Structure 1
Amino acid sequence: MPHEHNHGHCGEECHDHDIPEAQGHRDNLYTHIDRDNVVALNAENGNGPEVVKPWHERLDEEVYLESDADDQMVIRIPFTGSVKLRALLLKVGPGEQTPAKVSLVTQFGNIDHLDFNEISERKPTQEFNVPQGREIGEYHVMAAKFPAATSITLFFPASQGADTTRVYYVGFLGQWTARKTEPVITVYESRANPADHPKIKGIHGAMQMP
């Protein structure tokens, strides 16, 4: 079975070691992903949720997304609450179908539906080079950049030489917090009640309503 590992190229937040089996369950965010609203753009054989798999299916290569018109792909992944992200998990490839890099664009609050033009013009929250390999890649993010994300969009701008890009598995590690919503109570006044408003003296001493 392939070994999962971190990639030393992804910055100070990364460490080179195997991913413990238990770690995938301890802070894996799979159950907090809103899978019904995951969206993939330029995917030939799926809509997006196919690659958001539970931990025990992470090595499955029968189900995947492959780009269609060219080698670019966008996958937008909303959460059911706020997420303090620790790491991105990816299984991609094989070979030249591996994306050259992955850009993470974070959204807070209202979710933007980013298309290719918008996401290519927006500065990524963080991005990583992606090495070729059949294992699960763990990409540690800078936690300060992902304190309370409600949605993360992954942008794969190009393959490593193939006409298409292929993605088998997308996962996240981190901490989830339920979304806090408080009801907004608004009282509308159908007709002004004179007793509720202060009276103001007019220029001749008469009492006038404001």
Structure 2
Amino acid sequence: MPHGHSHGNGCSHEASGINNPLEMGIEYSLFKKIDLENMECLNEEIENSGKSVFKPFEKRLDFTEYVKSDADEELLFNIPFTGNVKLKGIIIIGDDDDTHPSKVRLFKNRQKMSFDDTTSSADQEFELSRDTSGQIEYATKIVTFATVHHLSLHFPSNFGSEYTKINYIGLRGEFTEAHDHGVTICNYEIRPNVSDHKNNLFNQVNHQIQ
């Protein structure tokens, strides 16, 4: 039987494996709801490599695809969804060395963030432990992340390396399709404008006199 314990920072660790892999795979399927065409990763060494870390839960241990930072250790993901997400948890898998990120900061519904924007307060942040197999989940504040259409993940630091390397990012939660309800604007004439009707009235009066 798996047993877990909380680390107090929203992190839960399953000591003997991650629950039922099939159930976890379903819950961690939010990667399918990412608008990958418009997703961006800032400071990635290889263009579009940031997109590769979002993959099926069962492929979380496939490290052939990863993202590596370029100029320094920072990485910033701007992740638009194709609908609304209730984000419940996140998994970060890296290598068992100093390239593993040591912190992640979460920002909701702030599109096209740059590194300059990350100086503002995050909606939530976690101190990360080295995790090479997806054993640690960081639980988000459900109330805060109940309706998310865009998520930014800022990794400001690692454990001492000149660059940061991430193999997998898993997002757990619920997805709701976005409904585009058209807005119909109706203009109602509450009080008739006399100037609009006086000519008609005048003509009607003249006609009756004649």
Normalising TM by the smaller chain, what interval? 0.7 to 0.9
Matches within 5 A, 1:30-179: 30-47=31-48, 48-107=50-109, 112-119=111-118, 121-136=119-134, 137-179=136-178
Q: Contact 1:86–1:143 at 8 Å: present in 2 too? A: yes
Q: Contact 1:102–1:155 at 8 Å: present in 2 too? A: yes
1:199 paired with 2:194, answer: yes
Please identify the structure whose Cα radius of gyration is greater.
2
C-alpha RMSD of matched pairs (Å): 2.6
Once the 2 structures are TM-superposed, how far is the Cα of residue 7 of structure 1 from its aligned partner?
Answer: 7.7
Per the normalisation by structure 1, the TM-score is: 0.80
Q: Name the aligned partner's letter for residue 85 of structure 2.
A: V
Distance 1:115 1:62, change over 3 A: same
- Unmatched 5+ stretches in structure 2: 196-201, 203-210
Q: Contact 2:4–2:12 at 8 Å: present in 1 too? A: yes
Per the normalisation by structure 2, the TM-score is: 0.80
Q: Give the corresponding residue for 1:16.
A: 13
Once the 2 structures are TM-superposed, how far is the Cα of residue 90 of structure 1 from its aligned partner?
Answer: 1.3
1:184 paired with 2:183, answer: yes
Q: Name the aligned partner's letter for residue 105 of structure 1.
A: F
Aligned mates of 1:123, 1:7 — CA distance in 2: 28
Aligned mates of 2:150, 2:182 — CA distance in 1: 23
Question: Aligned to 2:32, what secondary structure does the other structure show?
Answer: helix
> What do the CA deviations read for 1:2-61 (whole angstroms, capped 9, x no partner)?
xx99783353x5443232202323322122121222210000023221111112211111
Aligned mates of 2:3, 2:43 — CA distance in 1: 29
Q: Contact 2:41–2:75 at 8 Å: present in 1 too? A: yes
Q: Give the corresponding residue for 1:203.
A: none
Aligned residues: 187
Question: Aligned to 2:47, what secondary structure does the other structure show?
Answer: coil
- Unmatched 5+ stretches in structure 1: 201-206
